[in-house]
Structure 1
Amino acid sequence: MPSPHTSPGPRRNALWGIVICLLLALPAAPAAAETTTDSYVDGLADAAPTPALQWSDCEAGFACATARVPLDYAHPESRTIDLSLIKLPAGDPSRRIGTLFVNFGGPGRSGVQRLRERARWPWLFSEALRARFDLVSWDTRAVANSAPVHCFPDATTQQLFLTAYPPLPGTAADERPFFAASRSLAEQCQANAGDLLPHVSTVDTARDLDLLRRAVGDEKLTYHGISYGTYLGALYANMFPGRVRAMALDGSLDFRGNTGIDGPDQPIDTRQDVATGISGTFDAMLRSCTEAGAKCAFSEGNPVDKWQRIIERVRREPIAWDGTRYDYSAVITAAGALSNPAAWPQLADTLQHLYDLRDSPYRPEDALAEAFSLVGRAAEIGTGSGSAGNTNAYDDNYTEAFDAIQCADSRVPRDESVYSALAVSEDQRVPYFGRLGVLGAMTCAYWPQTAVQPYSGPWDRRTAAPILVINGRNDPATPLAGAAAGAAELADAHLLVIEGAGHSSMYVHSTCAETAKREYLIAATLPPADATCPVDGNPFELKPAA
């Protein structure tokens, strides 16, 4: 789960795709016998009243509602908050199974907006899947329209702060201002949203999810969690093990490793080895570029050699391009933004342009142009169109919500010198990208201790149904090793590997993986052990998504 400050198994049996297609018409398998299921239930959620949902049309075939839930489950009678929900009703009501709850990850992005955008992506939710389930997503607490964490008095102040936020430091000399900004952000959040921060951990969101399950009338939960959403799914599975009908965890984590409960001696992404994930995905991107030939702007010559030439240049001095300064930090951050392969062609264009400019000197007028560009961006803040004409609408709180949730869920080192030392050693271990895994969630080093409340386990409660874990061979945000570790932590989880690069099947197109996920969610049929799935094609050759 990269920070917003950045942004060989056996071959698959060819008959598997045919078999699962034939199985689609089968009825859902019965749930596992209750005697095999852990009887534990989180009592705080059960003590809270079931929300009453009143769905109303909200365009394009969607319905929207709000759900009232306790802010503090230990005191449900005190303050309540409203969660914003959205639903795409099942395409075939006569064959509807129930509700498929979806969390698209982050944390911090609006689930309502993402379902609007992505509900009809065929490689993620095929028509056959949408026919059988209502798709429901929601803004989790702290996010967007659900008790949002606002760390600034208004949107203009927020945007000015984030616009001036120092980039991830590529060298030790750049660390001090980055540390100072991270500390300042944590302090602003405590000052302006301190009442919310102790109540936005994923433990409370898992309780919210059980209330939403009750509210839609489902006896058990059917769930698709992506990226951070896999962590939410793992917590739900262990807090309400007998209530799991089916759970697909896509782009998954080392769940215990995410918490830091075994000792917060490393930052979050270092524990997940995100740097290795980024490095492996970058290498895969360059291979795909070479294979695509002229369809990839960076393919001519040797892309690996060209990349090293760019790095040699920006280690000496930055490259100026259209009012933007590409120093070492900026180039590494740009190259590390690999989650969505649909954006790889644009990255290849950028790399080729930087390669073409590698011998151009950096001039004083370039620095002046950069300064004017920054001033111009700052001047535009607050003049754009906001919600309902409000030019200062506080619509996007992604950075604040990301930190509020991730910092609540994870213990991390609180000594800046630990980060400085790890940045050096990690960059030696994983050239270029080691620092990204160390400094990506730096704000958590300064987060108020009263709001740091990670789930302490257990992780292996026996669920009423097995869990399907899906992960790519090269994933820059949730590396395969972490997904395998997380699957092993759960009592009954099965891993399906996508032989591709990018973050989760939300971005990595694999009809095979969608079919396997669909068959599991509909008919409770898991893929064969050690099954893998191919991707639908080279990202440089696929048509852009509609």
Structure 2
Amino acid sequence: MHVFKKPARWLAAAACGMLAAAALPTGAANAAAPGATPPVPGRYRHQVLDWRTCADGALECASMSVPRDWYHPDAGPSLSIEVSRRRAADPAKRRGVLMTAAGGPGASGLPRPARLAAYSPKLAQAYDIVGFDQRGVGASTRVVCSDQSKVDALFASADLRDRSTAAVRQTVERARDFVRDCRTASGGLLPYITTDQAVHDMDLYRQLLGVEKVSYYGPSYATFLGAFYATEFPRSVERVVLDSNIDFTGDWQSFLTGQPMSFQRRFEQDFLPWLAKNDATYHRGRTPEEARAGYERLRAALHEQPLDVEGTVITPNHLDAATTDALYNTDRFAALASLLGFLEHPDRAPAETRKAVAQQFAHPMRADFAADFFTVTCGDTPWNRDIGSWVKQSAEATRSYPLAGARELTFASICASWPRSKAPRIEVTGEGLPPVLMLNSKNDPATYYEAAVRAHRGLAGSRLVTVEGGDHGQFQNHNACVDAHVEAYLLDGALPAGDTTCPAPQP
């Protein structure tokens, strides 16, 4: 789901989606034969990528034309996909192409090759590292929904823990209004901004690069992309690394309903003990119980009187969203602890701090991110469309796992009102694939461990590296054990003999 780095990471990266069973689009192949589409017209197969220096100067970029609908490539206007690459540092030792993608869905993948190359000089020497902005995102053809003011209202205007009849009705109405905006403003794109359509773009990219196979590294939502790509185009992949996994063998709906539990677990088992341990610095409570009570007192105060900081009105939802964002990686705990202190005594902060906090809290989710996120997660497969059942289920999630459970009704109401999906159901089994290296931490709040284990069990031949701790994103997280496994596999094809473990990264 992400989960989104990170444009307004709070709700963005934490979010993923919820799905159910799917119907095939007219003319599409049966799910038993994924990727079976009509022949690619020559105007797409024979195009030449117009490589040029990217705006940041670190990579080469190009624009690729793709069908709007891969199942009907001659119907409708073409879409533009922006792609990037960093050539292997040593062409004589180049072993192939390593494709990488972004999380979210909704994050930009265009700059990813530069980051990966900077982190791992060994991979940069051996691979042309390539990336792309997925259809609907960034410099590619973008999907449009509501403007920023409406998205802000959707996620921040009222306390999402409020379960009164009026509050619930308002949440559902705002969600439906967002969907109406998507229908009106998207220009007919909604049915075609899906994971299945995107992996066909990826394979055309491979063809235009002139290679028979690519290796792949993808974190968070990009595990979903990678698993679908390998399943639909098994002859196109060589080595695959999936980092911080969505359960791509199941559906988004069942995956996301597990997220409130995992965010609450990370908060209670990792952050609150850390906060109590550092009470001498942050003064938030000497025990986890005291620290939690202090958090709830601060939240209740924001419920009674939202805080105006330089024109940004901070509500309890802002606090929950900032907290879930900080739970992604341990190195963000200190910033969250300082933020809690600021919200307790904003009058004591210097002007530059107040301005920084106001900017941080201004938009819980960027409008462009929200447009792509919901288009993909609502459109990949249909949702349960019974709002009444979501009202009941989200009430239980709010009671049991209040930190992230309160947002469930907002996400569910959007996807329950979404146009019915026609995306094909892709069954990921691992059949016919090379072994896949999977990475996941035990207390990852967004791509939680239980889902990763289900995906691992359903992906024949995969190896799972379990990382102690709870950070989201294992490779490129300065964990020597994880890095050694990933580089050994991508460089030499060496996999652990079976599932294995790594300690948490050292701070």
Place the TM-score, normalised by the shorter chain, in its bin.
Answer: 0.7 to 0.9
Structure 2 distance, partners of 1:113, 1:407, is 26
Asked if the contact 1:290/1:303 (under 8 Å) is kept, the reply is yes
Give the unaligned 5+ runs of structure 2.
Answer: 13-31, 347-357
AA aligned to 1:53 is: L
Among candidates 335, 344, 354, match of residue 346 of structure 1: 335
> Is the aligned partner of 1:228 residue 2:228?
no
Asked if the contact 1:85/1:136 (under 8 Å) is kept, the reply is yes
Q: CA offsets, 1:211-241, max 9 Å, x none?
A: 1111112211211111111111111121112
Match of 1:406 in 2: 377
Q: CA offsets, 1:250-306, max 9 Å, x none?
A: 11011133255xxxxx6x510xx1112212222212334455675x63566224312
Match of 1:189 in 2: 182
AA aligned to 1:443 is: I
> Is the aligned partner of 1:64 residue 2:61?
yes
SS of match in other structure, 2:468 = strand
CA shift at 1:191, angstroms? Answer: 1.0
> Is the aligned partner of 1:202 residue 2:195?
yes
Taking structure 1 as reference, are residues 128 and 438 closer, same or farther at Cα in structure 2, changes over 3 Å only? farther
> Is the aligned partner of 1:211 residue 2:208?
no
Match of 2:133 in 1: 139
Normalization by structure 1: what TM-score? 0.76
CA shift at 1:440, angstroms? Answer: 3.9
Match of 1:417 in 2: 388
Match of 1:47 in 2: 40
CA shift at 1:120, angstroms? Answer: 4.5
SS of match in other structure, 2:145 = coil
Asked if the contact 2:34/2:426 (under 8 Å) is kept, the reply is no
Match of 2:352 in 1: none
Structure 2 distance, partners of 1:54, 1:166, is 40
Taking structure 1 as reference, are residues 115 and 396 closer, same or farther at Cα in structure 2, changes over 3 Å only? farther
Asked if the contact 1:310/1:355 (under 8 Å) is kept, the reply is no
Structure 2 distance, partners of 1:193, 1:527, is 46
Asked if the contact 2:245/2:452 (under 8 Å) is kept, the reply is yes
AA aligned to 1:256 is: T
Among candidates 93, 96, 102, match of residue 94 of structure 2: 96
AA aligned to 2:62 is: A
Taking structure 1 as reference, are residues 481 and 439 closer, same or farther at Cα in structure 2, changes over 3 Å only? farther
CA shift at 1:461, angstroms? Answer: 4.7
Match of 2:415 in 1: 444
SS of match in other structure, 2:123 = helix
AA aligned to 2:261 is: T
Q: CA offsets, 1:433-472, max 9 Å, x none?
A: 33345544542121111xx234423221523411111111
CA shift at 1:497, angstroms? Answer: 1.2
Map 1:70-469 to 2 at 5 A.
Answer: 70-78=67-75, 79-116=77-114, 118-122=115-119, 126-151=120-145, 158-167=147-156, 169-173=160-164, 174-259=167-252, 269-270=256-257, 273-282=258-267, 283-290=269-276, 297=282, 301-312=286-297, 314-315=299-300, 317-318=303-304, 321=307, 323=309, 327-337=315-325, 338-354=327-343, 397-437=368-408, 439-440=410-411, 442-449=413-420, 452-469=421-438
Taking structure 1 as reference, are residues 150 and 437 closer, same or farther at Cα in structure 2, changes over 3 Å only? closer
Asked if the contact 1:335/1:347 (under 8 Å) is kept, the reply is yes
Asked if the contact 2:243/2:473 (under 8 Å) is kept, the reply is yes
Structure 2 distance, partners of 1:178, 1:537, is 42
Structure 2 distance, partners of 1:224, 1:481, is 21
Asked if the contact 2:50/2:62 (under 8 Å) is kept, the reply is yes
Structure 2 distance, partners of 1:318, 1:232, is 43
SS of match in other structure, 1:164 = helix
Structure 2 distance, partners of 1:131, 1:298, is 48
SS of match in other structure, 2:474 = helix
AA aligned to 1:108 is: G
Among candidates 537, 543, 546, match of residue 506 of structure 2: 537
Taking structure 1 as reference, are residues 148 and 44 closer, same or farther at Cα in structure 2, changes over 3 Å only? same
AA aligned to 1:416 is: I
Taking structure 1 as reference, are residues 289 and 525 closer, same or farther at Cα in structure 2, changes over 3 Å only? farther
CA shift at 1:429, angstroms? Answer: 3.4
After superposing the two structures, state which structure 1 stretch, 80-89 or 523-532, moved more. 523-532
Taking structure 1 as reference, are residues 121 and 476 closer, same or farther at Cα in structure 2, changes over 3 Å only? farther
SS of match in other structure, 2:63 = strand
CA shift at 1:345, angstroms? Answer: 1.4
> Is the aligned partner of 1:480 residue 2:477?
no
Q: CA offsets, 1:140-160, max 9 Å, x none?
A: 1111121110225xxxxx123
CA shift at 1:311, angstroms? Answer: 0.9
Asked if the contact 1:251/1:483 (under 8 Å) is kept, the reply is yes
Taking structure 1 as reference, are residues 466 and 529 closer, same or farther at Cα in structure 2, changes over 3 Å only? same
CA shift at 1:320, angstroms? Answer: 5.2
Normalization by structure 2: what TM-score? 0.81
Taking structure 1 as reference, are residues 148 and 320 closer, same or farther at Cα in structure 2, changes over 3 Å only? closer
Structure 2 distance, partners of 1:344, 1:319, is 26
Asked if the contact 2:223/2:242 (under 8 Å) is kept, the reply is yes
Taking structure 1 as reference, are residues 431 and 177 closer, same or farther at Cα in structure 2, changes over 3 Å only? closer
Asked if the contact 2:137/2:372 (under 8 Å) is kept, the reply is yes
Asked if the contact 1:310/1:354 (under 8 Å) is kept, the reply is no
AA aligned to 2:384 is: P
AA aligned to 1:55 is: W
Q: CA offsets, 1:51-106, max 9 Å, x none?
A: 42221222534111111111111222343222101112112221111111111211
Taking structure 1 as reference, are residues 150 and 46 closer, same or farther at Cα in structure 2, changes over 3 Å only? same
Structure 1 distance, partners of 2:151, 2:37, is 37
Q: CA RMSD in A?
A: 3.1
SS of match in other structure, 1:257 = coil
Based on CA coordinates, which of the two structures has the bigger radius of gyration? 1
Taking structure 1 as reference, are residues 443 and 519 closer, same or farther at Cα in structure 2, changes over 3 Å only? same
Q: Percent same amino acid at aligned positions?
A: 27
AA aligned to 2:72 is: H
Map 1:519-534 to 2 at 5 A.
Answer: 519-534=488-503
How many pairs were matched up?
A: 457
CA shift at 1:196, angstroms? Answer: 0.9
